[in-house]
A and B are shown apart, each in its own frame.
Chain A
Amino acid sequence: MAKLTFKTDECKGCGLCIEACPKGILRLSKDTINKKGHHPAECADPEACIACRSCATMCPDCIIKIEK
């Protein structure tokens, strides 16, 4: 199973990872606000991740780490 890790405090909530995800399982967290004052990206369904790297390819801040 793939494991996605976000450096939540560095996320600027731009949402480019959400658009890039072919599975549509990423979203901006509604409940949390990070140090920068943004709603950070998170994975809604870790089980469905196929580790395709699309989110990490589009992330401008390089905050996503993917393990398999």
Chain B
Amino acid sequence: MVVFDKPHALTDVPLHYCPGCTHGIVHRLVAEAIDELGIEGRTVGVAPVGCAVMAYDYFRCDMIEAAHGRAPAVATGVKRSDPEGLIVFTYQGDGDLASIGTAETVHAAARNENITVVFINNAIYGMTGGQMAPTSLPGQVTQTSPYGRDVTQCGYPVKICEMLSMLDGPEYLERVAVNNVKNVNKAKKAIKKAFQNQVDGKGFSLVEVISACPTNWGMTPSQALKWIDDNMIPYYPLGVYKDRSAGIIPGAKEAAK
């Protein structure tokens, strides 16, 4: 009996990611969610610009490549062309979603567009060689902040889940991590729920995945996973930031005071 195998929604193309890059884990979780919900034939994915730019080679469903940061806008168009039939997801990194694509992200969430967004936050620009990202931690050393991110000059990191949770629009926002088995299992549940919400017509669901970039962090894969525990998670706390159906609505609570 097969206990574990590659999900059907992933193709057999070998992933181009660096050794120990957790993009591969998140690809698999998305594919497992598609398999388990039985929606492969009607799913359309939108790939970003960044390391995951070639995600269209890896998923067996239809894929579109969006201009840098514009994946939620492209996904909006695709979803509105056939709201009942299609399941649309975007897969974006922090340089894509939290920097050049902030406007598209915020407005897709504000409109409660019925799409699923998978957001990879690894606090660095991976594909271009490790420059400082909007999500880089204060003091984090990158190619463009060799003395550490100076918040007086570069500002503070963008916390997407906290920011979007104040909007009335989005249905579901959760931050997860993929640095150990327990967290990967939680991430899988969150991603599946984000797809289930779309199938049920509930609206905008975003899962932020705290991910590792061993190459550009200058660490071994196992050091990188530990660095997530020690540095990333304290700054980006994990958990559900909004779940309207379950009554977790921080914006409403603040307004009621």
Contacts and interface: CB of A to CB of B under 8 A. Distances in A.
Given A57-B184, A60-B24, 4 more contacts: A14-B221, A19-B225, A62-B10, A62-B24
B3 A10 contact: no
A14 B19 contact: yes
Contacts of B22: 60
Contacts of A53: 3-4
Contacts of B2: 65-67
Most buried by A among B14, B180, B184, B214: B14
Interface in A1-56: 2, 10, 12-16, 19-20, 38, 51, 53-54, 56
Interface residues of B, number: 30
Contacts of A19: 222, 225
B28 A15 contact: no
A15 B221 contact: yes
A12 B180 CA distance: 18
A16 B221 contact: yes
11 contacts: A12-B18, A12-B20, A20-B180, A53-B3, A57-B25, A58-B25, A59-B24, A60-B17, A64-B4, A67-B1, A68-B3
Contacts of B14: 10, 61
B3 A51 contact: yes
